[in-house]
Structure 1
Amino acid sequence: MEALYLGCLVGGVLFALISVVFGDWIGDALGGVFDALSFEFLQPVVLAGMVTVFGGAGILIERYAGLPPVWSVSVSVLCALLSGLLLYFGYVKPMRGSENSVGYSMNDLTGRIGEVTVPVPEKGYGEVMVSMGGSGNTLHTAFSFDGDWIPAGVRVVVIDIEDGTLGVSELEKTEKGLE
């Protein structure tokens, strides 16, 4: 049994090393061949971790616990399953949720608050910096929606978008008009 455990331990470690070094190349070469067979839980990192833990736990249990072979295999399988659950719910699933994009649509800018960086004349164009939350700030060409001159440093709200240009209005003036 010790040969099986050692083989799983070495095989799992080699798989992990090969995945780190050649993972992208292997994924490109296979081109999604196994996508139809994939289950959410059976990610390569989870499987490699389970095989490695099975081998390591089996060696330790057989050498130091003195359990019969059936019990050592059962406890090793249990350890492998627990480690797989921990890997999946502690690493794989949270990391999948962390993938996000900093991209946005121009329509997402409507209603956002910005600050004029280059004055916006009554008829013409200036520049506005709009905060995009966690992804930073973005600069856009802007025109005065109300036809008023808007000096630099004034906070504005994006009212409309025409041909990729933001129609903005002074935020304080808009707030006073609402009162």
Structure 2
Amino acid sequence: MAIHNKSFYSNLNLQTGGFPSWDSISDEEWQNVLSNYVFKIADSFAFDNVFKKEDLFPDGLNYFTDWALDIVGLAEADGDVVCKFQLNKNCRDKLLEYEFAVHHFESEKFHNYYEFDFLYFFSNNRLIATYINHESEIMFHDLNDDEAALIETLEPHIKASFVDTSVFIAVVKANRQS
């Protein structure tokens, strides 16, 4: 069985004069990738720098009070330990609201916003996807053949935004040497 590493970039252009370019992930793309791909292979998720449920409620932040956050356990992601939550229906619905990552609330400390730089998705204890909010990219790690084949079932414009991570890295390296 082969291992596949893929990345999702909206309107990726590998042929730019400098480095590759891509657009922000639209609400429609976010919802499509989650509903038709991630939710089919993931069973839990985690936020960067959240080690326990209480970390989601700093300084009176109540954004997560209506999330059904059922703790699965701790997991390693990108060299750090994070608290995994079950990817239940409630959390799926909330994650589909793309703007979950940036929202307004009353807090002088956070200047009316709260952002998660990374969101992780797991299949059992295996990290399968990392969403990097500020980069508008989703990286898929160590997918098995069946998981990678599911990409082929996506709508053509969504499927076209997946690229082999090795191809992307090669283009970046080639552009640096130019």
Length-normalised TM-score, structure 1: 0.19
Structure number with higher strand proportion? 2
Larger CA Rg, structure 1 vs 2: 1
